[in-house]
Structure 1
């Protein structure tokens, strides 16, 4: 082992370059074999009186100053034992630790590996003991089975990971597309709002100017009237202060002129201008409608990617009457003269759309008419859905659908579940997201979510429709 070798290098003697034997430490702290250091000290120098020096650092030390290093000696012993174990390797693993004999047997009861001596021991006499290879055989088979199961589960997890990563990428692309739509639509709305703001501000500016003009006319008219009445008041005041003879002179004409003077009562704001001011809020109503329309359009475009679908008459049950354009179906108790084929439903009164889908995101509108009762089923089905005999409407059979009946709506899961909705849908938007595995139903009028199925599609799927009850019908919105 590399770590044991590196430790062995650390406990070598600087003089003999071997592993330290009876290590001793001199005054400077360096360690040597006792025998090596003793021989070093016995070598005579040029000056017998000169002190001894450490072979490594040349620091002086006393002849009797070195002392045994017992801790280092223990470390050296442990390193040598580890080195021996690593050298012997696997040879010792096949040898019984207690008896030193080679291991040949395995005790099933104690799950212990035995040598010949262990095999004959009293505690194993009544146990099931086999040779190692014989005992390992069944365990190898069990391990092999476990490996196969684990590998299958690992592959399944890897498939799920791949599928979910693909779904994530599809969703990211959808989000990016929606982001571009939002940016585009809001830029268009921003331009429209700026234009409308300019129009409304210009109209307010005109109203402001007209009010000021009428104020000036009003002020001029009032000033003129005040001036005229001031003249009459002054004349009457002057008349009143005269003596009787002067007061009576021409008094009747003065009174007639004063009494017959009609006061003009001008209006500061004309009725027409006042009406324009009162009607101004009405100018904002088209703007409000435009913003409402914008929000509806934005929600619609973010969620609606129309798929041009039509009904496939080759799949239609004989009790369904299809329109000539194959976009409307009505239930009838009278059987149609429809040739039988492998694609046609013969028990379930259902019909599929043309084409089908193996990828992408698609949406279609279904307008339901249940005025006379009955029910309508909408959703998607797998290509291999059962066409003959009884059809069980649930995901296990390859059907993801909801049923609309008079007064309630049900999601057709493994067990049908009645849904609590604010209103009965009459127009349903169905959205299929193939890669993500979503089938979503929404009330197309109120935008209220109805239900969403989550699954993983592995084959082609088709829009699916079913009817039951006299007069029930549906049509596909263009």
Structure 2
């Protein structure tokens, strides 16, 4: 009795003040109090009384830094030993005896989820129930546990994959921002006082972007670690369950499996679309400065033109380096639908109701009137311009597709099928997402610039004449990505240029 009382006292000492349960992955904060890592993480996610204020300890209300959590390994070892003592059967008692009849337990009632001795088996309340021997009853549940473990491990691998891709995106974005900052500094150092104020403003914006990326990086890592901890706890629970004999394995087995089977991972996003748009559209913010410089040059005395023209050339070079690499696109006749007429230089296509004599092949589209570029991309930042000429209510589709996109039968134009595309029709423009989105534009562009940033996962469409952005898809690319084009309508055509 004294031993049981001591164990209960020890359990009270290692309880989490938040969940009132035994500590899981105990961590210590600045004031010295201990909490479950998961409980404290969720507590820190609750908005505070004011923006930017540090969270306070749930016990003493002293402020602490969420990033300064220290794992308490000694306390974790104490918790582990207490749990082992709780699992150990009391000395001098038979573990597999029925509490009511003190007979050895042989059976398991499927209907009541109870373990039965011979006398319990013959009782009236169990005569019509499904009763099996312990081993026969436990085997199907073991299979379910193995299946559930496999599913949970797959989910954990998925979230770890998301973490890896998210970290890669963050590194690329930080590198791009750092490169832009260095180029802006090196070029603007040689410009006159007219540009000094503009330099300061642009650098300030880059510093804000850098800080926002690092902030989202911390939030992303915290959420990913929280998800991994949840799945680690479930996997540990099931692995521990498998070590138990049949009687303990079958205890609360259905509720345990239900909790594990219904637990799906949250798939966090490393970079928010809003932040991505701000980084991607940063070169556009310099267009106002470009217009001011041109106006300044147009109104400057001839004696001042030579040095200022030098600065102008430097500035044009800066804008070009911050943009994408022009790509020379050629259409692939091996993939072209028979209703498309390709020019001899493979840079122009026209729709025709008359089918061309084209040999059938696995690479050729047979129902969707589409064509791919001859060369795809496995990295880098590339851009090309599509000049569209629509007649009689036709339409033109453009974008990028994955290498294994469907070539035969019906083709559904959406990201889930490996297609990120924009449709330009007579009178409207639509982004072909999971659900097509009709875009509100002041005028339908005749020249569309398509820009691909493979590592970050952006497919950006903009008006090639006015440089105004139209739409951006965000994806995680794997394998080769090909420029993609579709055409419909008598007399409709498109041509390509870098």
Instruction: Give me the TM-score of the superposition, normalised by structure 2.
Output: 0.53
In the TM superposition, residue 420 of structure 1 has moved relative to its aligned partner by 0.9
Please point out which of 367, 384, 387 is paired with 1:367. 387
In the TM superposition, residue 308 of structure 1 has moved relative to its aligned partner by 2.8
In the TM superposition, residue 450 of structure 1 has moved relative to its aligned partner by 1.6
How does 1:348-367 map onto structure 2 within 5 Å? 348-367=368-387
Tell me, yes or no, if the aligned pair for 2:423 and 2:429 is still in contact at 8 Å.
yes
1:146 matched to 2:171: no
How does 1:233-252 map onto structure 2 within 5 Å? none
Match of 1:134 in 2: 136
Q: Flag structure 2 segments of 5+ consecutive residues without an equivalent.
A: 8-84, 197-295
Q: Against the structure 1 CA distance between its residues 289 and 450, is the aligned structure 2 distance closer, same or farther, given a 3 Å change threshold?
A: farther
Match of 2:59 in 1: none
- Structure 1, residues 198-241: CA drift from partner, whole Å, max 9, x if none? xxxxxxxxxxxxxxxxxxxxxxxxxxxxxxxxxxxxxxxxxxxx
Q: Flag structure 1 segments of 5+ consecutive residues without an equivalent.
A: 8-82, 195-278
Match of 1:111 in 2: 113
In the TM superposition, residue 419 of structure 1 has moved relative to its aligned partner by 1.1
1:468 matched to 2:488: yes
Please point out which of 460, 474, 490 is paired with 1:454. 474
Query: Which region of structure 1 is more displaced relative to structure 2, 322-331 or 185-194?
Result: 185-194
Please point out which of 158, 170, 175 is paired with 2:160. 158
Query: Which region of structure 1 is more displaced relative to structure 2, 158-167 or 387-396?
Result: 387-396
Match of 2:458 in 1: 438
Report the Cα distance in structure 1 between the residues aligned to 2:344 and 2:108, rounded to whole angstroms: 82
- Structure 1, residues 35-62: CA drift from partner, whole Å, max 9, x if none? xxxxxxxxxxxxxxxxxxxxxxxxxxxx
Greater Rg over alpha carbons, structure: 1
Q: Against the structure 1 CA distance between its residues 322 and 131, is the aligned structure 2 distance closer, same or farther, given a 3 Å change threshold?
A: closer
Q: Against the structure 1 CA distance between its residues 128 and 421, is the aligned structure 2 distance closer, same or farther, given a 3 Å change threshold?
A: same
Report the Cα distance in structure 2 between the residues aligned to 1:410 and 1:433, rounded to whole angstroms: 21
3-state SS, counterpart of residue 134 of structure 1: helix
Report the Cα distance in structure 2 between the residues aligned to 1:127 and 1:350, rounded to whole angstroms: 63
In the TM superposition, residue 133 of structure 1 has moved relative to its aligned partner by 1.9
Match of 2:299 in 1: 282
Report the Cα distance in structure 2 between the residues aligned to 1:417 and 1:382, rounded to whole angstroms: 21
- Structure 1, residues 264-304: CA drift from partner, whole Å, max 9, x if none? xxxxxxxxxxxxxxx99932897999999987765554332
- Structure 1, residues 69-120: CA drift from partner, whole Å, max 9, x if none? xxxxxxxxxxxxxx9x979549543334455443333333432333445445
Tell me, yes or no, if the aligned pair for 2:391 and 2:489 is still in contact at 8 Å.
no
1:179 matched to 2:181: yes
Report the Cα distance in structure 2 between the residues aligned to 1:280 and 1:408, rounded to whole angstroms: 38
Tell me, yes or no, if the aligned pair for 1:322 and 1:330 is still in contact at 8 Å.
yes
How does 1:19-30 map onto structure 2 within 5 Å? none
Please point out which of 383, 395, 405 is paired with 2:425. 405
Report the Cα distance in structure 1 between the residues aligned to 2:300 and 2:313, rounded to whole angstroms: 17
Match of 1:384 in 2: 404
Match of 2:445 in 1: 425
Report the Cα distance in structure 1 between the residues aligned to 2:415 and 2:297, rounded to whole angstroms: 58
Q: Against the structure 1 CA distance between its residues 88 and 410, is the aligned structure 2 distance closer, same or farther, given a 3 Å change threshold?
A: closer
Query: Which region of structure 1 is more displaced relative to structure 2, 325-334 or 432-441?
Result: 325-334
